[in-house]
């Protein structure tokens, strides 16, 4: 496999920047300044047609006059100049670039033409580039920063790839204030040459990155993204925000980076299948990503909660429970040990509530040591540790009564956190801190300095711990490979049926023939053209039967009153046949066994641009559309993918033993889902399949109705 182009882009020994000057109102100048101030030790060669020096660096009048080909070219120039300058860099031998300049495909047709031009130039010279329309990169371990914000901190193991430059370039101060240090950050812009999957591959292999954050507005190659993310998430947590799943987000993303968005429910399925933890906000990407990167991995779901206030403790405990964690009552032994440090009214059960205990030693040392030592606890959340932030609020009110300066007053109030900040590494358990104070408080600064994650609300802290648990489940996940054999023979009959289609809809009887070729169980049935033929078929099948119209030009039979269920005898059958032929004289008559079952599910496939076929499973019957209880995965499915789908719907209890009904054959359900994925990949002309209902009979699933839609090509 060829080396990822980002290895060279993120680790250059020399850089040339075109577009920087001595005017600090220019973006290129700010980026050059941050590059210099980041501590980059390699050669920096500005290109400027007039200036002899730019920010103290020798400048060169044009690219051909550079003394040698730099490892990395940075372009922050007017849009029209980008093709010419990229070609100049190519001629002298530069093979890596970051194109900051905007004005390409995100602006419309003319921009797409210009973007195609620079893609062709890069291809001609073997250049790999980020952008255009991006805001740079950060590599704090080099160090290297070519964004518009100064680098304020380093030393963390959290890295970020973003389809928004702002989340790389304008957030460094925000991250510093929240105790977060990026290891590496990549703004991909329009992804004309290097895309988000390249970034994911690079960060997955990067030893300095322990957790990966993603900001996504769309994915072009979902199949490659899935394969890459699934491999990485088994070892490193990946946390992502996707914003293109509704009409407003998709419209914004398209104008922003030219991204191709997809429906939200598909990304839910993609992330679940890939082992990606999905969050709602960029704040969660940063803060939870930081917790995942810097905390010992969670080994179970039993969480201890320690607080100096009942409300925050209850909020943490309640949120933990809602997120799948346990806040178990402590054993009598632990309670006895904790009680010796509690005031009379405090609870030692879990949460441990110190009831606004101002003395910090109990909250920061005595009780935490007990909780970390407990073998039946997996993680610790503490709320209420504070010192100078709180005391500073009191100073103006009491300064007239004391003869102490504010500085000295704050200094003597500082808590000693030396033992607490070492407990996570000492005991191999995560510690998360909830506090309403920020870096104005000495305790929070100490936590930040020692990479202990802090959150500004109890509920956010609990959700972060839940994400550590989600990654534990992802690490434990069975990762079997889809059983698809590239050399297998596609059923010839299925190929012939699809190739010979004349209508966009394949009739139910023929659709079920295809299903049977893939081992998917369906009803016994016959197709008739007359009432006499239908009656003969019904006698062979045995009453009661279902009677339906059957034709490729009838997609939704129920809505047209062309379905008759529980037909008990020949008189009822003939009446149903007469009604069908009267309404649709050209239709055939489908006579099928009448399935008896109380549970109904549905399954199907759909296709979307940029995605492999999507396999769907959910609650079926007449309430399917109203309840929308379904889940999605991308074909091909492994058996674990299919089993996970079955367990993901809200109505999953119906799959087990339920109200005197036997457990559903889950393996048989999984076979249906795997088979649908095979059909979709074998027969790409089939763009939609709808199996509804799949009725459970004596625990076994059987398809009662099927709809297939094919492309008009």
pLDDT at 526 (0 to 100): 97
pLDDT at 307 (0 to 100): 95
**484 has a pLDDT exceeding 80:** no
Q: Is residue 355 part of a domain?
A: yes
Q: Same domain for 449 and 535?
A: no
Q: Same domain for 558 and 695?
A: no
pLDDT at 258 (0 to 100): 39
Q: Which of 252, 280, 308 is the last residue of a domain?
A: 280
Q: Same domain for 245 and 328?
A: no
Q: Same domain for 275 and 300?
A: no
Inter-residue contact 377 to 304 (CB < 8 Å): yes
Q: Is residue 488 part of a domain?
A: no
666-689 pLDDT tens trace: 999 999 999 999 999 999 999 999
Q: Which of 448, 476, 504 is the last residue of a domain?
A: 476
Q: Same domain for 678 and 608?
A: yes
Q: Same domain for 579 and 617?
A: no
Q: Same domain for 177 and 243?
A: yes
Inter-residue contact 199 to 221 (CB < 8 Å): no
- For residue 97, the SS3 value is strand
Q: Around Cβ 639, how many Cβ atoms within 10 Å?
A: 17
Q: Is residue 501 part of a domain?
A: no
56-88 pLDDT tens trace: 999 999 999 999 999 999 999 999 999 999 999
What integer is the mean pLDDT of 295-321? Answer: 96
Q: What is the CATH number of the domain that holds 538?
A: 3.30.1490.20
- For residue 240, the SS3 value is strand
State the total domains in the chain: 4
331-362 pLDDT tens trace: 999 999 999 998 777 789 999 998 765 568 99
Q: Same domain for 135 and 246?
A: yes
Inter-residue contact 317 to 327 (CB < 8 Å): yes
pLDDT at 256 (0 to 100): 38
What integer is the mean pLDDT of 518-544? Answer: 96
**7 has a pLDDT exceeding 70:** yes
Q: Same domain for 589 and 607?
A: no
In terms of C-beta density within 10 A (0-12 exposed, 13-18 middle, 19 or more buried), how is residue 586 classed?
exposed
DSSP state letter for 521: -
Q: Is residue 502 part of a domain?
A: no
Domain that holds residue 18: 6-280
Q: Using pLDDT thresholds of 50, 70 and 90, give the confidence band for residue 450.
A: very high
Sign of the torsion angle spanned by Cα atoms 454, 456, 458, 464 = negative
Q: Is residue 458 part of a domain?
A: yes
Q: Is residue 516 part of a domain?
A: no
Q: What is the CATH number of the domain that holds 59?
A: 3.40.50.261
Do you know the residue count of the chain?
A: 713
Q: Same domain for 404 and 433?
A: yes
**23 has a pLDDT exceeding 80:** yes
Q: Same domain for 267 and 199?
A: yes
Q: Is residue 497 part of a domain?
A: no
Q: Is residue 60 part of a domain?
A: yes
Backbone angles phi, psi at 123, to 5 degrees: -65, -40
Q: Same domain for 465 and 544?
A: no
107-128 pLDDT tens trace: 999 999 999 999 999 999 999 9
Q: Which of 555, 571, 593 is the last residue of a domain?
A: 593
pLDDT at 254 (0 to 100): 38
Radius of gyration of the chain (CA): 32
What integer is the mean pLDDT of 307-313? Answer: 93
Lowest mean pLDDT among 174-188, 275-289, 456-470, 493-507: 493-507
pLDDT at 250 (0 to 100): 45
């Amino acid at each position: 496999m060829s080396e990822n182009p980002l290895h060279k882009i993120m680790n250059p020994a020399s850089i040339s920047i075109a577009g920087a000057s001595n005017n600090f109102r220019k973006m290129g100048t700010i980026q050059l300044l941050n590059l210099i101030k980041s501590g980059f030790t390699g050669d920096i060669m500005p290109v400027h047609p007039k200036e002899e020096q730019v920010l103290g660096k020798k400048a060169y009048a044009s690219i051909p006059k550079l003394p040698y080909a730099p490892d990395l070219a940075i372009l922050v120039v007017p849009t029209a100049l980008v093709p010419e300058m990229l070609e100049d860099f190519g001629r002298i031998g530069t093979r890596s670039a970051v194109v900051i300049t905007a004005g390409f495909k995100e602006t419309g047709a003319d921009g797409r033409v210009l973007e195609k031009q620079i893609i062709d130039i890069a291809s001609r010279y073997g250049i790999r580039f980020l952008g255009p329309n991006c805001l740079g990169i950060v590599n704090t371990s080099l160090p290297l920063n070519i964004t518009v914000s100064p680098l304020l901190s380093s030393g963390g193991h959290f890295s970020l790839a973003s389809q928004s430059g702002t989340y790389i370039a304008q957030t460094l101060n925000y991250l510093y204030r929240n105790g977060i240090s990026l290891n590496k950050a990549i703004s991909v812009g329009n992804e004309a040459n290097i895309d988000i999957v390249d970034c994911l591959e690079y960060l997955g292999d990067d030893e300095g990155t322990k957790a990966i954050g993603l900001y996504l507005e769309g994915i072009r190659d979902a199949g490659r993204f899935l394969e890459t993310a699934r491999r990485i998430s088994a070892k490193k947590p990946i946390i992502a925000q996707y914003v293109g799943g509704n009409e407003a987000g998709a419209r914004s993303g398209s104008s922003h980076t030219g991204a191709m968005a997809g429906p939200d429910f598909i990304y839910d399925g993609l992330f679940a299948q890939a082992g990606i933890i999905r969050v709602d906000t960029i704040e969660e990407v940063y803060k939870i990503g930081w917790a995942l990167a810097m905390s010992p991995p969670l080994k179970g779901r039993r969480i201890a909660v320690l607080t100096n206030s009942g409300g925050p403790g209850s909020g943490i405990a309640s949120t933990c429970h809602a997120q799948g964690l346990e806040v178990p009552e402590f054993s009598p032994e632990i309670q006895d040990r904790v009680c010796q440090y509690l005031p009379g009214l405090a609870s030692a059960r879990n949460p441990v509530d110190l009831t606004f205990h101002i003395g910090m030693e109990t909250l920061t040392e005595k009780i935490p040591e007990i909780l970390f030592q407990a073998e039946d606890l997996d993680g610790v959340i503490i709320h209420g540790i504070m010192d100078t932030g709180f005391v500073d609020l009191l100073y103006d009110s009491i300064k007239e009564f004391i003869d102490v300066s504010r500085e000295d007053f704050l200094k003597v109030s500082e808590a000693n956190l030396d033992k607490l900040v070492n407990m996570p590494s000492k005991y191999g358990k995560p510690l998360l801190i909830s506090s309403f104070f920020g870096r104005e408080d000495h305790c929070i600064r100490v936590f930040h300095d020692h990479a202990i994650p802090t959150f500004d609300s109890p509920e956010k802290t609990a959700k972060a711990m839940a994400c550590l648990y989600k990654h534990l489940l992802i690490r434990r996940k069975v990762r079997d490979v889809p059983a698809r054999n590239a050399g297998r023979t596609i059923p010839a009959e299925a190929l012939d049926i699809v190739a010979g289609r004349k209508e966009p809809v394949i009739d139910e009887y023929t659709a079920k023939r295809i299903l049977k070729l893939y081992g998917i169980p369906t009803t016994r049935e016959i197709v008739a053209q007359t009432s006499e033929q239908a009656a003969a078929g019904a006698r062979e099948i045995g009453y009661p039967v279902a009677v339906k119209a059957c034709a490729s030009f009838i997609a939704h039979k129920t809505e047209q009153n062309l379905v008759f269920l529980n037909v008990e005898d020949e008189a009822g059958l003939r009446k149903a046949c007469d009604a069908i032929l009267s309404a649709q004289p050209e239709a055939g008559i489908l006579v099928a066994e009448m399935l008896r079952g109380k549970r109904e599910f549905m399954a199907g496939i759909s296709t979307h641009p940029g995605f492999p076929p999507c396999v769907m499973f959910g609650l079926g019957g007449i309430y399917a559309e109203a309840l929308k209880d379904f889940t999605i995965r991308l074909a091909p499915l492994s058996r674990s993918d299919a089993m996970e789908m079955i367990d993901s719907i809200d109505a999953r209890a119906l799959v087990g033993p339920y109200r005197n009904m036997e457990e559903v054959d889950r393996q048989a359900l999984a076979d249906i889902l795997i088979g649908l994925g095979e059909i979709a990949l074998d027969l790409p002309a089939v763009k939609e399949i709808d199996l509804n209902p799949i009725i459970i009979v004596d625990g076994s699933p059987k398809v009662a109705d099927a709809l297939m839609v094919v492309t008009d090509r």
